[in-house]
């Protein structure tokens, strides 16, 4: 059995298409998406539609909340908040009322049983899609913020756009990286496959190339309000 998890599409349809094709080539039995579907993208509507079509479960991320209600003070650097609000308005204008309700009704976490034990998936932390938990967080912080009192074997999250895996005793923590906007310097889509073999599981990060320059051109084509910034981010695969 193979289970695919991906996150942080950010409206990058070309990257999403590449990941969906790879998921199918791997032969994944189920697909789960851990939030941030549309914000900062040139194709928010297409990405929401494709995620809803392919996924067995979807979680709400912080950027999904920004699409719905804008960026509040303290949620982003103040000097960038006006531009980010403009981006949220742009994305929201391309989504239908039904699609906005779909984002609003997404849960914050998914908890399921598997042959190897429970897995818990969320965007940033189980009850808040905004905190940043870095790969080098202390064991105590990782347990407090990411496990949050849940008894699971595998903990999966997105948000930081940095793929990694670590263990705390018998428990596994894995970040998926980002489909549409990786921050680790590799300009390829990132997602994760959990290979299940009876009571064991193996986590595999997969990198999928896509046409970054074509994605950059699409920001210009749609008149995205922060097109130049987003092109720099996609090309460098780093935050700016």
The full DSSP string for 93-112 is HTS-HHHHHHHHT--SEEEE
Q: What's the pLDDT at 207?
A: 98
CB 60 within 8 A of CB 123: yes
For residues 171-180, average pLDDT: 98
Q: What is the pTM of this model?
A: 0.96
CATH topology for 2-236? Purple Acid Phosphatase; chain A, domain 2 (3.60.21)
Cα dihedral sign, 67-232-223-213:
negative
The stretch 145-171 carries a mean pLDDT of 97
Contacts of 70 (CB under 8 A, 6+ apart): 85, 88, 89
Work out the mean pLDDT of the chain and round it to a whole number. 97
pLDDT in tens, 92-143: 999 999 999 999 999 999 999 999 999 999 999 999 999 999 999 999 999 9
Alpha-carbon gap, residue 60 to 240, rounded angstroms:
24
Tell me the three state secondary structure of residue 151.
Answer: coil
Per-residue confidence band for 240, with pLDDT thresholds at 50, 70 and 90: confident
Task: Give the pLDDT confidence score for residue 14 in this predicted structure.
Answer: 98
Could you tell me the sign of the dihedral formed by the alpha carbons of 42, 21, 178, 51, in that order?
positive
* 141-167 average pLDDT score: 97
**Residue 198: is its pLDDT beyond 90?**
no
Please report, for residues 40, 104, 131, 198, the alpha-carbon distance to residue 150 in angstroms, rounded to integers and kept in the order given: 32, 24, 18, 22
Percentage of residues in the chain with pLDDT exceeding 70? 100
pLDDT, tens only, 40-97 = 999 999 999 999 999 999 999 999 999 999 999 999 999 999 999 999 999 999 999 9
CA 89 to chain centroid, in Å, comes to 20
Structure tokens at 225: 């309000």
Domain ranges of the chain: 2-236
């Amino acid at each position: 059995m193979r289970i695919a998890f991906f996150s942080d599409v950010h409206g990058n349809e070309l990257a999403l298409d590449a990941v969906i094709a790879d998921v199918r080539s791997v032969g994944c039995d189920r697909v789960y998406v851990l939030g941030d579907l549309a914000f900062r993208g040139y194709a928010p509507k297409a990405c929401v539609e494709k995620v809803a079509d392919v996924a067995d479960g979807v979680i709400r991320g912080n950027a999904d909340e920004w699409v719905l209600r804008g960026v509040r003070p303290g949620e982003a650097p103040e000097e960038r908040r006006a531009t980010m609000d403009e981006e949220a308005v742009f994305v929201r204008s391309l989504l239908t009322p039904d699609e906005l309700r779909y984002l609003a009704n997404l849960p914050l976490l998914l908890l399921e049983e598997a042959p190897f034990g429970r897995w818990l998936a969320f965007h940033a932390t189980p009850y808040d899609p905004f905190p940043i938990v870095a790969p080098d967080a202390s064991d105590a912080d990782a347990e407090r913020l990411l496990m949050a009192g849940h008894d699971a074997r595998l903990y999966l999250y997105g948000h930081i756009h940095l793929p990694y895996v670590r263990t705390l005793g018998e428990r596994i923590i894995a970040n998926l990286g980002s489909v549409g906007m990786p921050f680790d310097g590799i300009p390829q889509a990132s997602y994760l496959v959990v290979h299940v073999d009876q009571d064991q599981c193996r986590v595999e990060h997969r990198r999928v190339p896509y046409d970054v320059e074509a994605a950059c051109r699409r920001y210009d084509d749609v008149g995205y309000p922060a097109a130049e910034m987003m092109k720099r981010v996609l090309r460098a695969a780093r935050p700016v």
